């Protein structure tokens, strides 16, 4: 499943870059994070419980920064492991200046394997889309916070 | 909703068996227990102290297994033990492979070893005191996977960039063979037109029996024997697979079945799971029970063969006379060859379909992909091929602007040609296909077709009629396996029955078969009662199969449309022996010649003097409990065993020539569909099924098979598909997304029949039950007919859910590019 | 004061006229309770998504799928299963009609199908063809194509059945 | 089959239920269970505690107010709604409920469960959205009323937050309603569905084309206008084994027009 889009931020590119590369700020953007461990500057691990109305989907997510070209490009590989589902996600973003702010072009490819992956096909795409929107909105909030702080 | 018309039989051979129970729809013996919830299905069986097995399954379609750690699972309260692929590889040998190289090199164990090759493949097993606990613990088994790229499209399987599933084979092309008969060059030289069809596709589905697989396995440490209570429908095959793998003789494997909740071929290849259960029962020193749940079944068990027909060329005369065809069949076997590559030859039982063309070339290639393994499914391998030949007929007719009815009639093998030898040496025993077609057309209302078309059009609907004609070849000659692998030492076929007369006059019949709804207890009793001249109520047919009873042979089981021939052949043979013994015994007691004795009304009596009679009870008592004083040389046990062996020769491996099956039941179905052109949604509004399976022992049972097969075909033609995404996730792993027909989906059905007695069987019967594939062909043809005025698209897939019909409607040209007609 | 949260509970149910009292884990589905705890194996399981209807039973007069109910939710209820349809070995009219019209082959869907048919005819003694089909739309049969089941239910309702 | 371990409680009052939900963050309300228990079988979701709402009388019942407003207790089963004389005040409700799944599921499944599950293929989220229903949500504090158009937040997510319950569904009077769908087979899961209501301007709510029902308000009830409005709505439907995004977009136009047509016929 591929999703992509762009998002504008009213902040300079460096500020956005800092947020995107700050594990703590990133943790705050992810839904249902219960714990977030930083192994080193390229490897993070999060325990998340993705809240769904019918219960939560618990996952351990290993995040690895696979490429980085400061201050405009980075890509991540994320591997999530949960009961009944395994998620593999690669995501990349590209920052550029735009009207005094920053434009972020992003794309993500999500692959979900296991019973949940196949059972929930009719609902997974909407869920992924929605989670992505939530992350982006939270990201905006983090950028705003970082600007204010 | 439903209206069923049974037409008068058009061909009825008077036979000896027609006088009594045979030929009548007597009530089923099975029904009393099944209607009261007192059948015994595999999951109903319990044993003291049994543990429940849950398999840990790979979430990945293709991944290296770096490690399997069961320690956390073993610590979980209630867990009794585990089994891993590495253990299995130590304790067993790989399953025997039917294929010649490179397929022969596959190393298939009961659990994945080193690598998982399809999503849902069992990787480890956990046993616990409750079902729920076993599943809890299975979640605690830590498997470290290294995901690999998957290949899920057979057409990509041989690309350089595609991953190879089995390093031992070195290629995904596990079997290939070239079949050619007749003179293709001459046929194409003679043709007025050559119709080229670039690609056709038979989709992946199966019959999804409502009961999934299962077993309860006990191990007797004293004798080293396993008792496998299961619903496997072909224990003979399971035993051949399991014994060598487990390094034991077949007497150590006792198979027991009773009631089986549908099989349709899908319960032939549970042997890997059965081996895992055997190993666990021995390791844990207690009975273990395994029940497969619906999602497990969809993910991992017995998908029907998916097949592509590439680069087909058909040689045809201007008037629609078919001369021959050539094609490449690319068969997608899934990840393992559990019954394959037999599908690579089984289709050849019906090489020309129902038509008289004599020049045929088919290049068969079978590949492995990261999908669930294929194994037989109702109409196994013939269905795919017959769909293909039927598609050819309709495409040729439409492209040449001929009537598909006329093209069929022009080319059908004629009644006067029977028995008909096909180009590859099979012998179609009897039948009148044109007559069947006429009956089907009459039942479906062909005369009013154009009126109905106009009426539908006025309602904004597109109406179309389609015909599907098929053969249900029954009673395999297993010698055909040598066309796959000349090293194999299989040929012929056999089935066993024992019939005995017991002490109080009970007639007890034991079958080697494993029925799953086919009413064997009833039909066997009909035959026995007729032959012994007694009431059907006095005939007790044992339910199920037990290899302890000594009533089984190498090919025992219920599969491949053969009970009416092999099963009843064995019953008949054993009953004949028993009747002879009963007469002999009576003649000794009554002091006459056995020829003077007849069996009637539950007695052995003198023909000349019916007063001089011995009731069956007396005969049973004399031999079993009161035998002093009988002549020493009286060779009578009243316990007779007979092995029926059909008259087969091994085929000619070089020419790929020989008789591959004994009987050929035939089906002609006709469907009328109405399509909503705005959405692609369609409905089957009328349906007729005409069946000819020779002499019918129990017409109601036969008709039940026809109906059931028809419903399955309708499901397969409309919505049933095992579709995978490119990563190898199955997108239809349950009945939400895998939509089988519901009561509301059923069209009105009319059935009709012919009885063309088989000259090759003792009662004129033919195996039957698998002919429903005709429905897939009929629906495809009806759709193509309905869409003719909407850009004349080509129906190229066997499964046509609404989205595909919409695609044909909105872009007919893409489908039309698959077809090209050359004039010569 | 809210009721306590429990993970197992003693329940009392009446099944086909017999009262059973058992302690059961709260997570156990009613169908597993019937089959495994009470050994009433007439009620079957054909799927794991509530689609197939093989597990249909009548709970306090209402037709339900026993795979979508926890056993504890049936506490205090009266349950009818296929095993209670015949009286003294005498088949009910619906059961007999299934036998007469060959409405079953393998017999696996049959218990659920019989419960659906029984529930239908209690509320609607003279169902139309459409009503019969709607009454069993939640019961999957893979053997018969439903046609003979339609006939059987129609016959059980005393209506004429075209042969 | 084979659920994970789960706590269970069957409160007898709404207060008790809310109390348990507030106490246990991992608790989920169990209504008819016809979705939730299946999700739990797949272990795709594993609530820690199930709060069975079956024993709470105030969550049941159907009342028709003097002004024609229909008030549904969320624990009303589909079968009860179909059989209810009061519910016939808004006939589309019973008609649509009769299309949901099968007899057994309709006997057990509840209207509240249908909306709170918020599965994109469910029937009632688009229907209630089109009808302009109001949903009452109770928590530890005051009750609040949420219009259906704001109730559905995502797949399996609604305005009913942690510690809260849906307590009432209010449906304004009206008759000019329509519903159309393309299911898999005659009665399978919906591929696309649409509800329309012409009570005060045309409002269409489309199901199965996003995480939540998509509202489209065409300028007229003419088929072309309806289809145009759906086309302009910029739908981003999912692709799956039953339909590509494009096919769903197309079907959305067709079923919207059909739902509006049915509604128009009833307005006449």
Q: What is the DSSP string of B669-727?
A: EEEEEEE-TTT--EEEEEEEEEEE-BS-S-HHHHHHHHHHHHHHHHHHHHT----B-TT
- A130 pLDDT higher than 80: no
pLDDT of residue B368: 98
Q: pLDDT tens digits for A15-58?
A: 888 888 888 888 888 878 888 888 888 888 888 887 666 667 77
Distance CA B662, CA B643 (A): 17
Q: Across the interface, do C54 and B210 touch by the CB < 8 Å criterion?
A: yes
pLDDT of residue A109: 86
The three-point CA angle B413-B417-B420 to 5° equals 80
- A120 pLDDT higher than 70: no
Find the mean pLDDT for residues D130-147. 94
D234/chain B closest Cα distance in angstroms = 20
Set of chain D residues whose Cβ sits within 8 Å of the Cβ of B719 = 184-185, 188
Q: Which two tokens stand for residue B227?
A: 């008792």
CB proximity under 8 Å: C 109-128 to B = 109-111, 114
Residue of D nearest to C26 (CA): D8
Give the range among B15-19, B653-657, C86-90, C95-99 with minimum mean pLDDT: B15-19
Set of chain A residues whose Cβ sits within 8 Å of the Cβ of B299 = 115, 118
Distance CA A149, CA D146 (A): 36
Residue of C nearest to B516 (CA): C106
- C127 pLDDT higher than 50: yes
Taking the whole predicted model, whether its pTM rises above 0.90 is answered as yes
Q: Which among C56, C69, B208 has a CA at the least distance from the CA of D102?
A: C56
- B104 pLDDT higher than 70: yes
Q: What is the mean pLDDT of chain B?
A: 95
Instruction: Label residue B17 by pLDDT band (50, 70, 90).
Output: very low
For an interface test with D, give the residue of C1, C4, C5 to mutate (most D CBs within 10 A): C5
pLDDT of residue A54: 67
Q: Which among B807, B725, A109 has a CA at the least distance from the CA of D246?
A: B807
Find the mean pLDDT for residues D8-27. 94
State the angle between helix axes of B773-786 and B699-718 in degrees (0 to 180), rounded to the nearest 10.
50
Give the range among A48-52, B2-6, B46-50, B503-507 with minimum mean pLDDT: B2-6
Under 8 Å between Cβ of B339 and B175:
no
Set of chain A residues whose Cβ sits within 8 Å of the Cβ of D117 = 53-54
Q: Which residues pair with B684 in a beta bridge?
A: B673
pLDDT of residue A78: 87
Q: Across the interface, do C150 and B2 touch by the CB < 8 Å criterion?
A: yes
Q: Which residues pair with B658 in a beta bridge?
A: none
Query: Within an 8 Å CB–CB cutoff, is residue A149 touching chain D?
Result: no
Per-residue buried b or exposed e for B767-788, using 16+ beta carbons within 10 Å of the residue's own CB = bbbbbbbbbbbbbbbbbbbbbe
Set of chain D residues whose Cβ sits within 8 Å of the Cβ of B135 = 2, 43
Q: Across the interface, do D185 and B742 touch by the CB < 8 Å criterion?
A: yes
Set of chain B residues whose Cβ sits within 8 Å of the Cβ of D1 = 131, 293
* Share of residues in chain B with pLDDT > 90 (%): 94
Q: Which two tokens stand for residue C162?
A: 């075209």
Set of chain D residues whose Cβ sits within 8 Å of the Cβ of C65 = 104-105, 108
The torsion defined by the Cα of B529, B533, B536 and B538, in degrees rounded to 10, comes to: -110
- A118 pLDDT higher than 60: no
- B14 pLDDT higher than 50: no
For an interface test with B, give the residue of D100, D188, D190 to mutate (most B CBs within 10 A): D188
Q: Across the interface, do A123 and D241 touch by the CB < 8 Å criterion?
A: no
Distance CA D121, CA B108 (A): 41
Q: Across the interface, do A118 and B119 touch by the CB < 8 Å criterion?
A: yes
Set of chain D residues whose Cβ sits within 8 Å of the Cβ of C72 = 8, 10
B131/chain D closest Cα distance in angstroms = 7
* Share of residues in chain D with pLDDT > 90 (%): 89
Nearest CB neighbour to A53, from listed D120, D156, D240: D156
Residue of A nearest to D164 (CA): A53
Distance CA B394, CA B795 (A): 10
Q: Contacts from C83-89 at CB under 8 Å and sequence distance 24+?
A: C83/B36, C83/B37, C83/B38, C83/C16, C83/C40, C83/C42, C84/C15, C84/C16, C84/C17, C85/B35, C85/B36, C85/C114, C85/C118, C86/B35, C86/B36
Distance CA D233, CA D216 (A): 7
User: C-alpha B480: how far from its chain's center?
Assistant: 17
Q: Across the interface, do B36 and C82 touch by the CB < 8 Å criterion?
A: yes
The torsion defined by the Cα of B163, B165, B167 and B168, in degrees rounded to 10, comes to: -150
pLDDT of residue A149: 64
Q: Which among D93, D186, C49 has a CA at the least distance from the CA of A122?
A: C49
Those chains having 3 or more beta-carbon pairs within 8 angstroms of chain B are A, C, D
Instruction: Label residue B343 by pLDDT band (50, 70, 90).
Output: very high
Q: pLDDT tens digits for B470-480?
A: 999 999 999 99
C80/chain D closest Cα distance in angstroms = 14
Under 8 Å between Cβ of B374 and B304:
yes
Distance CA D151, CA D115 (A): 9
Q: Which among B411, B466, B391 has a CA at the least distance from the CA of B785?
A: B466
D241/chain B closest Cα distance in angstroms = 7
Q: pLDDT tens digits for B490-524?
A: 999 999 999 999 999 999 999 999 999 999 999 99
Instruction: Label residue B551 by pLDDT band (50, 70, 90).
Output: confident
Backbone angles phi, psi at D27, to 5 degrees: -85, 145
Set of chain C residues whose Cβ sits within 8 Å of the Cβ of B734 = 47-49, 51
- Could you tell me the end-to-end alpha-carbon distance of chain D, in angstroms, rounded to an integer? 49
Find the mean pLDDT for residues B614-620. 97
Q: Across the interface, do D184 and B132 touch by the CB < 8 Å criterion?
A: no
Find the mean pLDDT for residues B338-352. 98
Give the range among B4-13, B294-303, B724-733, D143-152 with minimum mean pLDDT: B4-13
Q: Which among B212, B718, D262, D61 has a CA at the least distance from the CA of C49?
A: B212
Distance CA A138, CA A142 (A): 6
Set of chain C residues whose Cβ sits within 8 Å of the Cβ of B294 = 46-49, 52
How many CA atoms lie less than 13 Å away from B55 in the CB half-sphere? 28
Helix (H, G, I), strand (E, B) or coil at C63: strand
Find the mean pLDDT for residues D189-198. 97
* Share of residues in chain A with pLDDT > 70 (%): 89
pLDDT of residue B10: 33
Instruction: Label residue B19 by pLDDT band (50, 70, 90).
Output: low
CB proximity under 8 Å: C 91-110 to B = 91, 95, 98-100, 102, 104-110
For an interface test with B, give the residue of C51, C100, C107 to mutate (most B CBs within 10 A): C107
> Distances in Å between the alpha carbon of B600 and those of B9, B27, B65, B531?
29, 22, 68, 9
Residues 6+ apart with CB under 8 A from B609: none
Find the mean pLDDT for residues B165-186. 98
pLDDT of residue A115: 65
Q: Which residue has better confidence, B5 or B767?
A: B767
> H/E/C letters for each residue in chain D?
CCCCCCEEECCCCHHHHHHHHHHCCCEEEECCCCCHHHHHHCCCCCCCEEEEHHHCHHHCCEEECCCCCEEECCCCEHHHHHHCCHHHHCHHHHHHHCCCCCHHHHHHCEHHHHHHHCCCCCCHHHHHHHHCCEEEEECCCCCEEEEHHHHEEECCEECCCCCCEEEEEEECCCCCEEEEEEECCCCCCEEEEEEEECCCCCEEEEECCCCCCEEECCCCCCHHHHHHHHHHCCCCCCCCCCCCHHHHHHHHHHHHHHHHHHHHHHHC
For residue A71, whether the previous peptide bond is cis, meaning omega lies within 30 degrees of 0, is yes
Q: Which residues pair with B303 in a beta bridge?
A: B374
Q: Which among B22, B39, B21 has a CA at the least distance from the CA of B30?
A: B39
How many CA atoms lie less than 13 Å away from C94 in the CB half-sphere? 25
Q: Across the interface, do D241 and B136 touch by the CB < 8 Å criterion?
A: no
Q: Which residues pair with D188 in a beta bridge?
A: none
Find the mean pLDDT for residues B244-262. 96
CB proximity under 8 Å: D 169-188 to A = none
Q: Across the interface, do C111 and B37 touch by the CB < 8 Å criterion?
A: yes
Helix (H, G, I), strand (E, B) or coil at B520: helix
Distance CA B504, CA B489 (A): 44
> Distances in Å between the alpha carbon of D7 and those of A44, B139, B296, D3?
33, 19, 27, 11
Say how many CB pairs under 8 Å bridge C and D.
Answer: 110
Q: Across the interface, do C27 and D24 touch by the CB < 8 Å criterion?
A: no
- B18 pLDDT higher than 50: no
Q: Which two tokens stand for residue D74?
A: 């969320």
Tally Cβ neighbours within 10 Å of residue B65. 23
């Amino acid at each position: 499943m591929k999703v992509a889009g762009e998002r504008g931020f009213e902040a300079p590119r460096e500020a956005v870059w800092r947020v995107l590369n700050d594990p703590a700020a990133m943790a705050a953007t992810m839904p249902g994070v219960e714990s977030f461990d930083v192994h080193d500057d390229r490897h993070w691990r999060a325990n998340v419980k993705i809240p769904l109305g019918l219960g939560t989907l618990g996952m351990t997510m290993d995040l690895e920064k696979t490429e980085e070209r400061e201050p405009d490009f980075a890509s991540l590989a994320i591997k999530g492991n949960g009961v009944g589902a395994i998620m593999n996600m690669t995501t990349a973003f590209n920052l550029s200046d735009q009207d005094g702010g920053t434009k972020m072009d992003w794309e993500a490819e999500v692959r979900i394997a296991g019973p949940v992956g196949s059972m929930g096909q009719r609902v997974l795409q909407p869920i992924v889309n929605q989670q992505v929107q939530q992350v982006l909105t939270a990201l905006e909030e983090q950028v705003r916070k970082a600007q204010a702080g | 909703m439903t209206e069923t018309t049974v037409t008068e039989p058009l061909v009825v051979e008077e036979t000896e068996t027609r006088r009594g129970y045979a030929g009548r729809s007597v009530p089923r013996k099975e029904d009393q227990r099944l209607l009261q919830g007192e059948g015994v299905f595999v999951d109903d069986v319990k044993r003291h102290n049994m543990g429940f097995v849950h398999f840990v399954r790979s979430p990945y379609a293709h991944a290296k297994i770096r490690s399997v750690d069961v320690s956390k699972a073993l610590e979980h309260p209630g867990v009794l033990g585990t089994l891993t692929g590495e253990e299995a590889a130590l304790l067993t040998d790989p399953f025997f492979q039917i294929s010649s190289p490179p397929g022969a090199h596959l190393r298939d164990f009961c659990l994945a070893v080193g690598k998982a090759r399809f999503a849902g493949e069992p990787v480890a097993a956990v046993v616990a005191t409750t079902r729920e606990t076993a599943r809890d613990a299975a979640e605690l088994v830590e498997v470290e996977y290294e995901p690999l790229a998957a290949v899920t499209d057979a057409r990509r399987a041989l690309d350089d960039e595609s991953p190879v599933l089995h390093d031992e084979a070195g290629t995904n092309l596990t079997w290939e063979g070239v079949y050619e008969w007749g003179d293709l060059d001459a046929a194409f030289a003679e043709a007025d037109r050559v119709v080229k069809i670039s690609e056709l596709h038979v989709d992946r589905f199966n019959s999804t029996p409502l009961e999934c697989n299962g077993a309860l396995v006990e191990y007797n440490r004293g004798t080293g024997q396993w008792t496998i209570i299961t619903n496997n429908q072909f224990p003979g095959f399971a035993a051949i697979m399991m014994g060598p793998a487990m390094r034991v003789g077949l007497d150590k494997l006792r198979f027991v079945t009773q009631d089986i909740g549908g099989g349709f071929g899908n319960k032939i290849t549970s042997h890997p799971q059965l081996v895992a259960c055997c190993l666990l029962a021995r390791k844990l020193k207690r009975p273990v029970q395994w029940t497969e749940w619906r999602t497990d079944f969809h993910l991992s068990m017995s998908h029907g063969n998916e097949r592509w027909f590439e680069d087909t060329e058909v040689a045809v005369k201007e008037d629609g006379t078919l001369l021959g065809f050539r094609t490449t069949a690319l068969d997608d076997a899934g990840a393992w060859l559990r019954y394959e590559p037999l599908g690579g030859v089984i289709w050849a039982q019906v090489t020309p379909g129902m038509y008289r063309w004599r020049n045929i070339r088919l290049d068969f290639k079978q590949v492995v992909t990261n999908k669930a393994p294929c194994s037989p499914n109702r109409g196994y391998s013939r269905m795919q091929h017959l769909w293909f030949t039927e598609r050819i007929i309709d495409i040729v007719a439409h492209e040449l602007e001929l009537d598909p009815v006329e093209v069929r009639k022009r080319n059908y093998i004629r009644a006067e040609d029977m028995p008909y030898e096909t180009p590859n040496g099979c012998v179609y025993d009897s039948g009148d296909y044109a007559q069947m077609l006429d009956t089907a057309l009459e039942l479906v209302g062909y005369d009013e077709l154009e009126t109905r078309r106009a009426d539908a059009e006025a309602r904004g609907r597109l109406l179309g009629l389609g015909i599907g004609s098929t053969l249900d070849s029954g009673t395999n000659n297993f010698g055909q396996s040598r066309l796959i692998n000349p090293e194999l030492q299989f040929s012929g076929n056999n089935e066993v029955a024992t019939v005995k007369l017991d002490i109080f006059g009970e007639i007890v019949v034991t079958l080697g078969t494993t029925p799953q709804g086919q009413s064997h207890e009833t039909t066997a009793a009909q035959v026995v009662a007729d032959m012994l001249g007694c009431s059907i109520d006095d005939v007790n047919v044992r339910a199920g199969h037990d290899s302890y009873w000594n009533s089984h042979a190498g090919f025992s089981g219920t599969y491949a449309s053969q009970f009416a021939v092999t099963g009843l052949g064995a019953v008949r043979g054993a009953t004949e022996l028993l009747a002879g013994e009963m007469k002999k015994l009576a003649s000794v007691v009554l002091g006459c010649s056995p020829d003077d004795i007849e069996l009637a009304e539950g007695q052995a009596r003198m023909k000349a003097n019916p007063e001089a009679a011995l009731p069956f009870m007396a005969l049973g008592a004399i031999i079993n409990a009161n035998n002093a004083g009988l002549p020493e040389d009286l060779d009578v046990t009243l316990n007779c065993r007979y092995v029926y062996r059909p008259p087969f020769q091994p085929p000619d491996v070089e020419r790929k020539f020989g008789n591959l099956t004994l009987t050929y039941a035939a089906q002609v179905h006709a469907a009328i569909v109405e399509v909503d052109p705005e959405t692609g949604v369609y409905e089957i509004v009328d349906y007729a099924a005409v069946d000819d399976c020779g002499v019918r022992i129990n017409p109601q049972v036969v008709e039940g098979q026809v109906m059931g097969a028809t419903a399955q075909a309708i499901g397969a033609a409309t919505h049933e598909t095992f579709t995978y995404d490119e990563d190898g996730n199955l997108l239809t792993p349950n009945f939400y997304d895998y939509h089988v027909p519901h009561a509301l989906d059923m069209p009105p059905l009319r059935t009709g029949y012919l009885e063309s007695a088989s000259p090759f069987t003792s009662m004129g019967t033919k195996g039957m039950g698998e002919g429903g594939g005709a429905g897939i062909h009929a629906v495809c043809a009806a759709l193509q007919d309905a869409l003719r005025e909407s850009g004349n698209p080509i129906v190229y897939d066997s499964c046509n859910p609404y989205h595909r019909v919409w695609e044909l409607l909105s872009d007919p040209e893409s489908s039309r590019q698959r077809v090209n007609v050359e004039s010569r | 004061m809210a009721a306590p949260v429990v993970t197992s509970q003693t329940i009392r149910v009446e099944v086909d006229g017999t009262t059973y009292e058992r302690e059961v884990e709260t997570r156990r589905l009613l169908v597993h309770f019937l089959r495994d705890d009470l050994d009433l194996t007439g009620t079957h399981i054909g799927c794991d998504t509530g689609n197939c209807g093989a597990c249909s039973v009548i709970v306090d007069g209402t037709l339900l799928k026993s795979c979508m109910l926890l056993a504890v939710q049936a506490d205090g209820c009266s349950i009818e299963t296929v095993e209670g349809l015949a009286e003294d070995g005498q088949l009910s009219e619906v059961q007999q009609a299934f036998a007469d019209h060959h409405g079953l082959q393998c017999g696996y869907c049959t218990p659920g199908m019989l419960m659906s048919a029984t529930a239908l005819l209690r509320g609607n003694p003279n169902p139309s063809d459409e009503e019969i089909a709607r009454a069993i739309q939640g019961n999957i049969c893979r053997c018969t194509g439903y046609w003979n089941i339609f006939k059987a239910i129609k016959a059980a309702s005393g209506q004429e059945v075209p042969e | 089959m084979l659920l994970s371990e789960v706590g269970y409680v069957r409160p007898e009052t709404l207060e008790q239920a809310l109390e348990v939900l507030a106490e246990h963050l991992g608790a989920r309300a169990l209504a008819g269970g016809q979705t939730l228990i299946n999700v739990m079988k797949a272990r795709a979701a594993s609530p820690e505690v199930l709060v069975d709402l079956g024993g709470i009388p105030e969550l049941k019942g159907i009342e028709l107010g003097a002004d024609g407003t229909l008030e549904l207790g969320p624990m009303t089963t589909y079968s009860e709604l179909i059989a209810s004389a009061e519910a016939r005040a808004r006939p589309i409700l019973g008609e649509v409920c009769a299309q949901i799944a099968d007899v057994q599921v309709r006997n057990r499944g509840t209207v509240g469960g249908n909306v709170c599950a918020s599965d994109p293929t469910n029937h009632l989220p688009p229907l209630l959205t089109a009808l302009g229903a109001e949903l009452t949500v109770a928590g530890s504090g005051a009750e609040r009323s949420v219009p259906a158009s704001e109730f559905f937040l995502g797949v399996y997510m609604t305005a009913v937050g942690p510690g809260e319950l849906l307590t009432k569904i209010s449906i304004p009077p009206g008759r000019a309603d329509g519903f159309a769908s393309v299911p898999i087979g005659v009665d399978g899961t919906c591929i696309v569905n649409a509800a329309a209501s012409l009570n005060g301007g045309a409002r269409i709510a489309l199901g199965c084309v996003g995480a939540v029902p998509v509202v489209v308000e065409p300028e007229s009830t003419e088929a072309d206008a309806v289809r145009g409005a759906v086309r302009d709505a910029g739908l981003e439907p999912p692709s799956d084994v039953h339909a590509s995004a494009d096919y769903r977009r197309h079907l959305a136009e067709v079923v919207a027009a059909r739902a509006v047509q049915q509604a128009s016929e009833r307005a006449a």
